[in-house]
């Protein structure tokens, strides 16, 4: 948590970050202390808590690798619309539903061969380009740009890759798989991932949706 925020710190007057995990907040506070940054505030909270800041407060809101974990996306966008100033921008980087990442594709196939059908291998709720566009317009935003980006990432070993996936998914990756077969499934995934070895490491393909939208100046587009 906080890597993008820390990069932006020198470009803005103040940043307020919220996260539902006390542990992640603690880690970020330690980073802030070491870097001696005084224009960043991190607070415990979820997408529902953003309304506590009031209306027309922020110039920019961004969700980085967050939107696909939100169940009620319409409500979240409604809350964000409320706290943005007229003309304020919302930026989103999120997973794309139509293009699962490499480890998920492999895990699903390994489970299928083991006779286990589990669509909740990674229980996030991603959307595709059309769905994201519809949600944003329905919430009253003016869509400036939505694009899909292919991102190659490299990991030292298959085990390091799986560790990254589990950490970035809050421990939910394969969270619904019975413990009795979990280790066997992981071994199967690692064996398959070895086939993706390159001189740069284990190659994984991610597809991310990027959206930039704007709150209208007169709120005339706001959903009634």
Q: For every residue of the chain, which 3-state class applies, written as one string?
A: CCHHHHHHHHHCCCEEEEECCHHHHHHHHHHHHHHCCCCEEEEECCHHHHHHHCCCCEEEEEEECCHHHCCCHHHHHHHHHHHEEEEEEEEEEEEECCCCCHHHHHHHHHHHHCCCCCCCCCCCCCECHHHHHHHHHHCCEEEEEEEEEEEEEEECCHHHHHHHHHHHCCCCCCCCCCHHHHHHHHHHHHHHHHHHEECCEEEEEEEEEEEEEEECCCCCCCCC
Residues 148-164 have pLDDT tens digits of: 999 999 999 999 999 99
Examine the domain organization and report whether 55 and 81 are in the same domain: yes
Examine the domain organization and report whether 41 and 83 are in the same domain: no
Domain span holding position 6: 1-45
Examine the domain organization and report whether 82 and 141 are in the same domain: yes
Q: Does residue 224 lie in a domain region?
A: no
What CATH number corresponds to the domain at position 86? 3.40.50.150
Range with lowest mean pLDDT among 43-52, 78-87, 146-155: 43-52
Residues 117-143 have pLDDT tens digits of: 665 566 789 999 999 999 999 999 999
Examine the domain organization and report whether 92 and 118 are in the same domain: yes
């Amino acid at each position: 948590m906080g890597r993008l925020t820390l990069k932006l710190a020198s470009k803005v007057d103040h940043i307020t970050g919220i996260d539902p995990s006390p542990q992640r907040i603690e880690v970020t506070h330690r980073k802030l202390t070491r870097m001696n940054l005084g224009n960043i505030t991190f607070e415990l909270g979820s997408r529902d808590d953003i309304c506590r800041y009031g209306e027309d407060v922020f110039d920019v809101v961004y969700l980085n690798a967050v939107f696909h974990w939100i169940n009620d996306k319409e409500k979240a966008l409604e809350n964000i619309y409320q706290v943005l100033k007229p003309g304020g921008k919302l930026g989103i980087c999120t997973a794309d539903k139509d293009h699962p990442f490499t480890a998920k594709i492999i895990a699903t196939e390994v489970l299928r061969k083991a006779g286990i059908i589990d669509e909740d291998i990674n229980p996030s709720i991603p959307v595709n380009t059309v769905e994201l566009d519809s949600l944003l317009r329905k919430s009253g935003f003016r869509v400036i740009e939505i694009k899909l980006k292919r991102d190659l990432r490299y990991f030292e070993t298959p085990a390091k890759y799986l560790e990254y996936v589990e950490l970035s998914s809050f421990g939910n990756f394969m969270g619904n798989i019975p413990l009795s077969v979990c280790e066997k499934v992981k071994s199967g995934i690692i064996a398959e991932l070895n086939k993706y070895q390159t001189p740069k490491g284990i190659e994984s393909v991610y597809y991310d949706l990027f959206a930039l939208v704007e709150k209208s100046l007169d709120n005339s587009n706001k959903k009634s």
